[in-house]
Amino acid sequence: MNWFKNLDYKKLIVPGIIIIVGIASFFFQKYKLNNTEVQSIPVIKEEVVLKKDTKLSSIKIEGVDFTFKEDVLEYDIIVGNDIESLDITAITTDGESADIKLGNGNKLLVGNNKITVDVKNNNKVVKYTFNVYRKKVTLTCPDNTTLDGDKCITKNFIQAAKIDYSCPSDSKLEGSRCMKVETKNASVYESCETGYTKVGNMCQKTETKDKVVTDFTCPERANTNIHFDGKLCQYDEYYTAQTTFRCYNGGTLNGNTCERYIDYIPMEERVTFCDEDNCQGHITKYCPGGTRQVGSNECARIETTPAERIFECLRGGNLIGGDQCQNHYSVAPSDIKYGCQSGYKETATGKCEKLISIDTFKNMSCSKGFTYQDGKCIKESSTEAKEKLSCPTGLKIDASTKKCYEELLSEPTKTEEQK
């Protein structure tokens, strides 16, 4: 609010001080002092005009250890951070009090401040300069707390935040992801198999082959099957294999059986008696029934087993079909004639050529990133769903941990710089 604006004044008398303003622009300026909004008095360049002298006998700054000297016009003053404004009182040499009001409401900034006061007597001006340094202060909080303004905040986690997921309208929510399916019509085009060239609506290729044997003569052989493999006459001769028997258990072959001696025993003895008139009794040795004498004094029982039948191809070849032998050999044919197979034509180079034509087939193609499925081009993509965190009334959300917490406030530690 401006009370005096663009007024034509010659003098404005303040107790102990005459402020000469001439034609001046007055203004009122609002400022905060000790957290209370107050209003300053009209000030013009902090000029102090004295009646008799331009000297001050003393200057006092409330709350500041300050020594004034009459012959010193500039002072360096350091004040604590808790001092937000200065109240400066000046006493003239004639004993009058000069209250000095600064245009910024005496408000001090943190760091360097420069305050000048001009003392006038008619045309003489004395300027006093105050270089005021307001100390900086550092606010610190304990571990696991955060400084917010002038308070320390501790997060007391209560519970996990509720998470709601959402997706754009063209996507479907699956768990915590948004699944999007794009569908396009496939592009249709006709193509040919590898090796064929499209000619009109057909696929064609020229197949080239060497001439083959069209006629030949193979020598006749008895008891053989003859066939021609394109280069040689192949003969297969068949005959009956010879049959033999063998014993593999240590026995002796007897016809188609194997005999082996087992259960060896000594020969038994018996006495032969004669008539008293004709002979004297004597002893003879024999083998019991079912045994046979082996050596001079032993008997053994005979074990009989069937002998193993062996088929052998005495004239060479391979045994086939149990008792059949096959001999295979080849002979070069005679009276060979060469020509092209049916459907092929002989060329000037002596080769055989045939033009093969088949129908084209339809191919389906999709743009990059799409896959062909059931006549359509499909593209599936997945993105993270948008999260919305919520907590009960009175609790705040910590987005990094996705938890709900309450704030506990405490005072920070203030550390003032040393200067």
Half-sphere exposure of 3 (CA within 13 A, CB side): 7
* Residue in this structure with the two tokens 């987005």, named with its chain if needed: 399
Structure tokens at 245: 């028997």
What is the per-residue pLDDT for 7?
29
φ, ψ of residue 62 to 5 degrees: the values are -65, 125
pLDDT block averages, 10 residues each, the chain of length 419 = 30 28 27 30 39 69 82 89 82 60 63 82 76 91 90 92 94 94 89 90 92 82 74 84 84 87 86 60 80 88 88 83 83 84 91 93 87 91 94 92 93 87
Which residues, including other chains, have CB under 8 Å from residue 50's CB and lie 6 or more apart?
A: 17, 18, 92, 94, 96, 98, 119, 120, 121
Question: Against a cut of 0.85, is the pTM above it?
Answer: no
What is the per-residue pLDDT for 14?
29
Distance CA 113, CA 88 (A): 14
What is the per-residue pLDDT for 96?
58
Distance CA 208, CA 9 (A): 122
Are 247 and 307 within 8 A, CB to CB?
yes
CA of 362: how far to CAs of 104, 192, 202, in Å?
88, 9, 12
CA of 280: how far to CAs of 79, 269, 286, in Å?
165, 17, 20
What is the per-residue pLDDT for 320?
84
Provide the greatest CA pair distance for the chain.
Answer: 206
